[in-house]
Structure 1
Amino acid sequence: MKLKQILKKKLMLGILKSSNRKNPFNIDKADNFQLLDSAGENMTDSHYFSAHNQSGESFFFRYAKRSNDTIEVWFCLKNSDGAIYVNNQELFQSKHCPASVKCITAGQSINLTFTGNVVLTQKGENDVLSLDKTSIPVKCEAHFQASMPPFDFTTGLDPTYIAEALSKERWTKTFWNNLRTNRQVHYEQAGVIELTIEMNNQKQVIVFSAMRDHSFGYRDWNYMNRHIWLMVIFEDGEILNLNMVDYPHMRNLMTGYQSVNGIHTSLKANSNLKELGKDGHVPETVIAPLTINQQEVELCGQREFAIDFSFEQGKYHIFEGVGTYTMNNRRGRGILEFGFNSDISRWK
């Protein structure tokens, strides 16, 4: 590392530590945050739940309120027989939204509901789902119960990794402005989801190991170049999370953590966006070398299916993949999320 970068890293590390001391994470405030319609352009309050079990069943749900009086809803359920159902409308006016998320006890329990229409799907090229035309009414209620403390990305990650990534960028006026603007509160928490669903004149209760993700603040999807999110729930209850994000002002941000028995440990990615999924879809196989507790391991993900979600009138696409994982002969299930700006020239 060159002397200039060493000095920049040291300075940035001091800035990050000072900011974390002044702005400690508060789960009560975060879980009870309410986004106002007058909050300003590109403000979002997003609740995301991802749930999986070792029987091959998966469920993910997103409830994202925007500051323009609209709510975005994702609903996806994969049954044990392999059938995959998704909602065929994503964006709703707030007063007509068929879904809800309600905090019961901060840091402990959340209820979510969805009463609307879903459709069956078929796998196409790169396992991306296409939607059937016949709508199926569904009523869903789910309860999330935490099993570990929350992990806050701002205060929980090892700031050394963030400082190193930021030290590689050019510190211009634009850099500092974008760093201040693109700020969010973002945290995750492991738990259990009990899902009760009524569909096709049948009522079913499914229990999953789960992860919830809550973020709120400024989000301009078209500002992002690319991103990757890998999330694994292992059979033994361990959680692993890896994020790689490419912003114009921050091209090399890679963060992640491991949660074991409620203890969160930052991890280091030994790969980058140039090496993982650069073809505009979720790769069939993802291999990500990592360093955890000074030990090198290899995380391997295998795609089952993916759904294409578009943002900003198609300017940014998220392919939400579901699949299986292995690491050190251990198995798990989870999410393989790959996001791409529609301007291919902005990809690495």
Structure 2
Amino acid sequence: MGIIQNIKKNIIAKAMDKRKAANPFNPEYSDNFQLPPDAAEDQNNSHYFSVHDLKSRQSLYMRLALRGGSAPTEVWFVYRDGDGTVYMNERDHISKGESIPAAVECVEGGKKLRFTYTGPVKKGRLTDKGYVPDGNSGDTMVELDGNFSGLTDTFEFSRHMATEPVARALSREKFTKEFRAALSEHHQVHYEQSGTVTGSLKLGNREIVFDKLPAFRDHSYGKRDWNYFDRYVWLVGLLENGDFIHNSLIRYPAVTEIQAGFYKTGGKTLCVKNCTSMDELPVTGGVPEKFSYTVAYEDGSVRRVSCSLDFTVPFVFGGGTYFVNEGVSDFTVDGIKGRGITEFAFNADSSRWTRK
């Protein structure tokens, strides 16, 4: 790092630390956040719940993203049973005025939330070529009632992430008026938490009971312009020993690559110092079947992570300008097994995927 960049990094770090001290995170407020009635279409309030049974290989995730103005609500429901059958909702954009099949309720801020989905889903299957929708199957009615209980503290990235790696990434860019404006305009609250889910899933004539299955949740609100992203990688694993690993790699027009993340173990939170770049991972427009990466943490520890894809579901946003590939993968972190999400998302303009 050159002298000028180091000076810029120190200035940015001081400003970030000052902002963190002046704006402590309030999980009670954030878990109860609602979009104001006059919110613009690019305003987003998104809850995401992800449940994974490491033994039976069941996985479930649900996303509810409310948008301002006349923008449609974004809803995901995906369930993979122990036999490899996948059920998912066919309509993931719900127009204003239509009934929304999903709901999220804050029971106790920062600790307990309830999430539900009631509606039709389509069935598919896993093959050696991945997930294949069953075009001959009709709708299956689903009733999901899940109760999330947090086991760790919430981790809000703009407050709890280590300052140095973010300041380092920002210091590489030209510190112009437009650059500062872009950072401010696209800032959003984003936090995650691991825990357990208890509840039930009525799937046609079957009822599946969840009893304290490993889970995590994600909540974000603020501006969300899908076309502003060049691409990103979101990797979240729940490990068999109770540890929780997260890594995010994000590329915007204003920033070449932001690396963020944490590792929660034994009541401690280790923040990412640096990790494998997104340009060193396979760039295919989808989720790689197998890949590995390395993460260094602030305490000096290093962890090596391998992921093996089970299945992936594609989602399209921004009127076809952005594609999110939601993968469910098996994780191995220094020999410890786990399961979780490998989400690889790309702008429709492939020229924006790589930048040196």
Same fold, TM-score > 0.5, yes or no: yes
Counterpart of 1:228 (choices 217, 221, 233) is: 233
1:66 equivalent in structure 2: 67
Matched, 1:117 2:116: no
Q: How does 1:90-239 map to 2 (within 5 A)?
A: 90-93=92-95, 95=97, 96-123=99-126, 127-130=130-133, 132=135, 133-207=137-211, 208-239=213-244
Judge conservation of contact 1:316–1:342 (CA < 8 Å) in 2: yes
Distance 2:93 2:126 in 1: 23
Judge conservation of contact 1:129–1:305 (CA < 8 Å) in 2: no
Kindly provide the CA deviation profile for residues 90-148 of structure 1, in whole angstroms up to 9, marking residues without a partner as x: 11135510111000110111111111001111347962543535211111111111111
Runs of 4+ in 1 over 3 A off after TM superposition: 122-126, 128-133
TM superposition shift of 1:244: 0.1
- Decide which moves more: 227-236 or 50-59: 50-59
- Decide which moves more: 154-163 or 200-209: 200-209
Counterpart of 1:77 (choices 59, 79, 90) is: 79
Give identity over the alignment, percent: 32
Kindly provide the CA deviation profile for residues 273-306 of structure 1, in whole angstroms up to 9, marking residues without a partner as x: 2111311010011211111331222100100110
2:312 equivalent in structure 1: 306
3-state SS of paired residue (2:280):
coil
Distance 1:200 1:305 in 2: 22
2:287 maps to a residue whose letter is: V
1:266 maps to a residue whose letter is: C
2:17 equivalent in structure 1: 17
Kindly provide the CA deviation profile for residues 166-214 of structure 1, in whole angstroms up to 9, marking residues without a partner as x: 0011112221110010110111111101131112212220232010000
Judge conservation of contact 1:269–1:288 (CA < 8 Å) in 2: no
1:334 equivalent in structure 2: 340
1:118 maps to a residue whose letter is: V
Q: TM-score, normalised by structure 1?
A: 0.96
3-state SS of paired residue (1:274):
helix
Distance 1:274 1:282 in 2: 14
1:40 maps to a residue whose letter is: A
Structure 2, unmatched stretches of 5+, are: none
- Decide which moves more: 66-75 or 127-136: 127-136
Distance 1:199 1:335 in 2: 23
2:19 maps to a residue whose letter is: S
Distance 2:343 2:127 in 1: 17
RMSD over aligned CA atoms reads 1.5
Structure 1, unmatched stretches of 5+, are: none
Q: TM-score, normalised by structure 2?
A: 0.94
